[in-house]
Amino acid sequence: MSRYAEVLLPLALHGTLTYRVPEALAESVCLGGRVTVQVGKKKLYAGIVTGLSDTSPSAVGDTLKDILDAEPSGPIVTQAQLDFWHWMAGYYMCTPGEVMKAALPAALKHTTEATPKRRTARDPLTFTSKSAPTPRRPLSEAQQQAADGIKKAWAEKDVCLLHGVTSSGKTEIYISLISDVLAQGGQVLYLLPEIALTTQITDRLGSVFGQQMGVYHSRFTDTRRAALYRKQISDTPYTLVLGVRSALFLPFHNLRLVIVDEEHETSYKQQDPAPRYHARDAAIMLARSSGAKVLLGTATPCLETYQHALSGKYGLVELKERFGGVSLPEIVVEDVKELRRKKLMKTPLSPRLIDEVREALARSEQVILFQNRRGYSPVLSCRSCGWTPQCTACDVSLTYHRQADRLVCHYCGASHPVPKQCPQCGDTELRDIGYGTERIEETVHTLFPTARIARMDLDTTRAASAYTDILNAFGRGDTDILIGTQMVTKGLDFDRVSVVGILNADQSLSVPDFRAAERTFHMLSQVAGRAGRRGRRGLVVLQTMSPTLPLIAQVVKGDYAAFFGTQMAERRRFAYPPEVRIINIHIKHRDDRLAEEAARTLAAMLRPHFADGLLGPYKPAVGRVQRLFIRRLTLKVSAALSVNGVRRTLHAAHDRLVGQPAFRSVQIYFDADPL
Q: Which of 143, 198, 202, 460 binds ligand ADP (CB under 6 A)?
A: 143
Q: Angle 170-183/141-156 helices, nearest 10 degrees?
A: 50
164 is a site residue for ligand ADP (CB under 6 A): yes
Element (H, E) at 670: strand 667-672
Q: Which of 387, 448, 514, 576 binds Zn ion (CB under 5 A)?
A: 387
How far is residue 653 CA from its own chain's centroid? Answer: 30
How far is residue 223 CA from its own chain's centroid? Answer: 23
Residues 461-472: b if buried by 16+ CB within 10 A, e if exposed = beeeeebbebbb
Identify which of residues 169 and 674 has a Cβ nearer to ligand ADP in the complex.
Answer: 169
Residues 614-633 that bind ligand ADP (CB under 6 A): none
Identify which of residues 68 and 418 has a Cβ nearer to Zn ion in the complex.
Answer: 418
The SS3 of residue 444 is helix
Identify which of residues 140 and 508 has a Cβ nearer to ligand ADP in the complex.
Answer: 140
Give the span between the Cα atoms of 437 and 169, in whole angstroms. 31
Give the span between the Cα atoms of 151 and 527, in whole angstroms. 30
Strands 581-589 and 399-401, bridge-based pairing: unpaired
Closest CA to 162 of 298, 41, 354: 298
Q: Which of 6, 69, 71, 172 binds ligand ADP (CB under 6 A)?
A: 172
**Residue whose C-beta lies closest to ligand ADP:** 171
Q: Residue 269: beta bridge partners? A: 278
Is the distance from CB of 54 to CB of 99 less than 8 angstroms? no
Residues 392-431 that bind Zn ion (CB under 5 A): 393-394, 409, 411-412, 414, 422, 424-425, 427
Element (H, E) at 232: helix 222-233
Give the span between the Cα atoms of 495 and 555, in whole angstroms. 22
Q: Which one of 167-175, 241-249, 333-341, 477-485 is the stretch in contact with ligand ADP (CB under 6 A)? A: 167-175
Q: Which of 169, 206, 389, 436 binds ligand ADP (CB under 6 A)?
A: 169
> Which of the listed partners (ligand ADP, Zn ion, none) does 139 bind, with a CB threshold of 5 to 8 Å by partner kind?
ligand ADP
How far is residue 273 CA from its own chain's centroid? Answer: 13
Handedness of CA 151, 154, 156, 161 (dihedral sign): positive
140 is a site residue for ligand ADP (CB under 6 A): yes
> Which of the listed partners (ligand ADP, Zn ion, none) does 609 bind, with a CB threshold of 5 to 8 Å by partner kind?
none
- Residue 62 CB, nearest approach to Zn ion (Å): 52
> Which of the listed partners (Zn ion, ligand ADP, none) does 113 bind, with a CB threshold of 5 to 8 Å by partner kind?
none
Q: Which one of 22-30, 103-111, 135-143, 217-225 is the stretch in contact with ligand ADP (CB under 6 A)? A: 135-143
Q: Which one of 136-144, 186-194, 387-395, 631-639 is the stretch in contact with ligand ADP (CB under 6 A)? A: 136-144
**How many amino acids of this chain bind Zn ion (CB under 5 A)?**
15
> Which of the listed partners (ligand ADP, Zn ion, none) does 391 bind, with a CB threshold of 5 to 8 Å by partner kind?
Zn ion
Q: Residue 14: exposed, middle, or buried by beta-carbon count in 10 A (0-12, 13-18, 19+)?
A: exposed
> Which of the listed partners (ligand ADP, Zn ion, none) does 534 bind, with a CB threshold of 5 to 8 Å by partner kind?
ligand ADP
Residues 491-520 that bind ligand ADP (CB under 6 A): 493
**How many amino acids of this chain bind ligand ADP (CB under 6 A)?**
16
> Which of the listed partners (ligand ADP, Zn ion, none) does 411 bind, with a CB threshold of 5 to 8 Å by partner kind?
Zn ion
167 is a site residue for ligand ADP (CB under 6 A): yes
- Residue 524 CB, nearest approach to ligand ADP (Å): 16
Strands 628-637 and 430-433, bridge-based pairing: unpaired
> Which of the listed partners (Zn ion, ligand ADP, none) does 383 bind, with a CB threshold of 5 to 8 Å by partner kind?
none
Give the span between the Cα atoms of 47 and 100, in whole angstroms. 9
Give the span between the Cα atoms of 24 and 224, in whole angstroms. 32
662 is a site residue for Zn ion (CB under 5 A): no
Q: Which one of 139-147, 223-231, 393-401, 568-576 is the stretch in contact with ligand ADP (CB under 6 A)? A: 139-147
137 is a site residue for ligand ADP (CB under 6 A): yes
Q: Residue 243: beta bridge partners? A: 191, 216
Identify which of residues 170 and 374 has a Cβ nearer to Zn ion in the complex.
Answer: 374
190 is a site residue for ligand ADP (CB under 6 A): no
> Which of the listed partners (Zn ion, ligand ADP, none) does 409 bind, with a CB threshold of 5 to 8 Å by partner kind?
Zn ion
> Which of the listed partners (ligand ADP, Zn ion, none) does 153 bind, with a CB threshold of 5 to 8 Å by partner kind?
none
Closest CA to 158 of 263, 299, 312, 320: 312
Residues 365-391: b if buried by 16+ CB within 10 A, e if exposed = bbbbbbbbbbbbbbebbbeeeebbbeb
Give the span between the Cα atoms of 502 and 369, in whole angstroms. 6
206 is a site residue for ligand ADP (CB under 6 A): no
> Which of the listed partners (Zn ion, ligand ADP, none) does 402 bind, with a CB threshold of 5 to 8 Å by partner kind?
none
Between 346 and 385, how does the x/- string for binding to Zn ion read (CB under 5 A)?
------------------------------------x-xx
> What DSSP string runs through 392-449?
SSSSSBPEEETTTTEEE-TTT--EEEPPSS-TTT----EEEES--HHHHHHHHHHHST
Is the distance from CB of 484 to CB of 457 less than 8 angstroms? yes
Q: For the sheet containing 481-484, what is the strand order?
A: 330-335, 539-544, 497-502, 366-370, 481-484, 453-456
536 is a site residue for ligand ADP (CB under 6 A): no
Q: Which of 101, 109, 163, 170 binds ligand ADP (CB under 6 A)?
A: 170
Three-state secondary structure readout of 284-304: HHHHHHHCCEEEEEECCCCHH
Give the span between the Cα atoms of 46 and 52, in whole angstroms. 17
Is the distance from CB of 158 to CB of 208 less than 8 angstroms? no
- Residue 321 CB, nearest approach to ligand ADP (Å): 11
- Residue 455 CB, nearest approach to Zn ion (Å): 23
The SS3 of residue 353 is helix
- Residue 447 CB, nearest approach to ligand ADP (Å): 30
Q: Which of 17, 37, 108, 139 binds ligand ADP (CB under 6 A)?
A: 139
Write out the residues near Zn ion by the rule CB under 5 A.
382, 384-385, 387, 391, 393-394, 409, 411-412, 414, 422, 424-425, 427
Write out the residues near ligand ADP by the rule CB under 6 A.
137, 139-140, 143, 164, 166-172, 323, 493, 533-534
